[in-house]
Amino acid sequence: MRNIIVGAGLTGAVLANLIAIVLKEKVLIIDKRDTIAGNIYDEKDSQTGIIVHKYGPHIFHTNNEKVWAFLSKYTEWYDFSFMPNAYINGKFVNIPFNINTIYQLFPSEKAQKLEEKLIREYGYDASIPLLEMLKNPDNDISFISNYIYEYMFKNYTIKQWGFDPKEIDKSITARVPIRISKDNRYFTDKYQGIPLNGYTKMVENILNHPNITIKLNTDFKFVSGHYDRIFYTGSIDEYFDYKYGELPYRSLEFDVREIDKEYYQKSAMTNYPNDYDFTRIVEHKHFLNTKSDKTIITMEYPKQFVLNKNERFYPIAKPENQELYDKYMKEANKIKGLYFIGRLGAYKYLNMDQAVENVFEFFENRIKGELINA
């Protein structure tokens, strides 16, 4: 079997690994970039030793034992709990919004009243999607949910997506939980961490097998020859030369700066919903607790994706975009041995653990399934 994987991101790497080790077949993996690891690519700054996440901050978190066990064969982990902040009305406060945030924003008497009301209404340790809380008619709860919406959510969403939150699919907006607890951790998954030597090294180890050949600076557009199986982790509209139109994406612009002081901010990430044009500032040294008398930060500016100008980052979850994707998929399903997978191939926002989980499922059900039925 001649196998080619288009895209050496996490999806492509895990798939190449399974083809090489489980099927014991040879596989060529290509990427149009000059690096492996796709959007989880990171690199060590030679001066400070700080590992910089080039395409936005990446924190690994999962409840999936199988995914964790698989990746742990290729990396050790730095035990990192993500506790970001947001800058709201002149104060740095904890997010996701929790009871500590209430005390940071309001006078203690008011905060206590709100805390008691929320616990009575939802129970301690509950995690309530903001949109659900906004429907609650109680005066105090309505006050707090509208405050969160106005000062922490609305403008951030407008900056991030370029349109009003109401226009976006709830699968995106419901991701904002309100915590009725004092847990400042952004993720509550059983397993959390950052690869001790970086994501790129982890991907390099996943790809390190004699059956795997890597070719960088290689766009599929310019690849010739016959392949029995094409696994495409790029965008499906590009594969079909945009014959039905372009799938929209949101892009990002990164302003990376070296700062001549030990720390810039308290946390790895601070969100700025209402101030400045950037959405957040990431300070990379926090991820692995790297010691240096300098620091490196990245300011993140959301942008519209423009073909051949910037990168695709977030698929835009709207019904008409899904319809366009489905139209392309119908076309793809007619071609034997052609598969679309991964963040771009599936036109879906996928966390890293979901991307790996998807490859496991795809490999079991489609690839091994097809071999059994052949």
Ligand X SMILES: Cc1cc2nc3c(=O)[nH]c(=O)nc-3n(C[C@H](O)[C@H](O)[C@H](O)COP(=O)(O)OP(=O)(O)OC[C@H]3O[C@@H](n4cnc5c(N)ncnc54)[C@H](O)[C@@H]3O)c2cc1C
Contacting positions for ligand X (CB under 6 A): 6-12, 30-33, 38-40, 56-60, 219-221, 233-234, 238, 313-314, 342-344, 350-353, 355
End-to-end, the C-alpha distance of the chain in Å comes to 13
Nearest approach in angstroms of CB 344 to ligand X is 6
Least gap, CB of 117 to ligand X (angstroms): 32
- Name the DSSP class of 313: -
Choose between 60 and 278: whose C-beta lies nearer to ligand X: 60
Residue 362, both tokens = 């795809």
- Residues linked to residue 78 through DSSP beta bridges, in sequence order: 194
- In the complex with ligand X, the residue whose CB is nearer, 141 or 176, is 176
**Rounded Cα gap, residues 354 and 251, in angstroms:** 21
Of residues 122 and 186, the one with the C-beta less far from ligand X: 186
Cα–Cα distance measured from residue 140 to residue 160, given in angstroms and rounded to the nearest whole number: 29
Which residue bears the tokens 């009003």?
A: 164
For the bound state, the minimum distance from the C-beta of residue 114 to ligand X, rounded and expressed in Å, comes to: 30
C-beta separation of 262 from 295 below 8 A: yes
CB nearer to ligand X: pick between 56 and 337: 56
Residue type, 298: T
| Cα–Cα distances in angstroms (integers) from residue 336 to residues 221, 227, 228, 245, 333, in the given order | 19, 11, 8, 23, 7
Amino acid found at 326: D
For the bound state, the minimum distance from the C-beta of residue 26 to ligand X, rounded and expressed in Å, comes to 19
- Residue 271 CB, nearest distance to ligand X (Å)? 13
Q: How far is the CB of 187 from ligand X (least distance, A)?
A: 8
Please, which residue, 50 or 236, has the CB nearer to ligand X? 236
Nearer to ligand X, 13 or 141 (CB): 13
Helices 10-21 and 199-207 cross at an angle (nearest 10°) of: 30
